[in-house]
Amino acid sequence: MRLNRLEKWVNLVPALIASLIDITITIIHQPKEYWEGNLRKANEGNPLGAILMANHVSGIFIISGIEIILIIVLGYYLPNKISKYFLLFVLIAHSCAATTWISSRYGFWWVMALALFNTLSYLLASNTTKQMKGLQEPN
């Protein structure tokens, strides 16, 4: 059975939340010198993001916008099974990336809180789509 539009959007939410958390933490923790124009101070693990950030202060926003658009387009339009795998990968990848910032600055328990939050958002979305499927009338 093909997922309807609302179910596709529900499936996107956990990956988008994890991405936005990672992006926000990355932006917040850029050194003051970077924001003042010293592009050599950019701190980014993603090689493409690092290249964009090293060329302009807005690079982090450009790469983040492109990434969010790609997540939405691929997560929405890929076949259902592939989309679920892709979105789970995005959720895990951004959770891991965010923890590189969180663990050194806020400690172990904040990493665990993020893991719990992302797990619960994934399970909530998954259970919501299962319930939605149960409400659909057979064709």
Model confidence pLDDT, tens digit, residues 93-119: 999 999 999 999 999 999 999 999 999
pTM (predicted TM-score):
0.88
Residue ranges of domains in the chain: 5-125
Q: Helix 80-105 to helix 108-135 angle, to the nearest 10 degrees?
A: 160
Calpha distance 25→12 (Å, rounded): 20
- Helix, strand, coil content of the chain in percent (nearest 5): 80, 0, 20
Q: Report the first-to-last Cα separation within the chain, whole angstroms.
A: 9
Q: Is the pLDDT of residue 136 over 70?
A: no
pLDDT digits (tens, 9 = 90+) for 59-71: 999 999 999 999 9
Calpha distance 87→81 (Å, rounded): 10
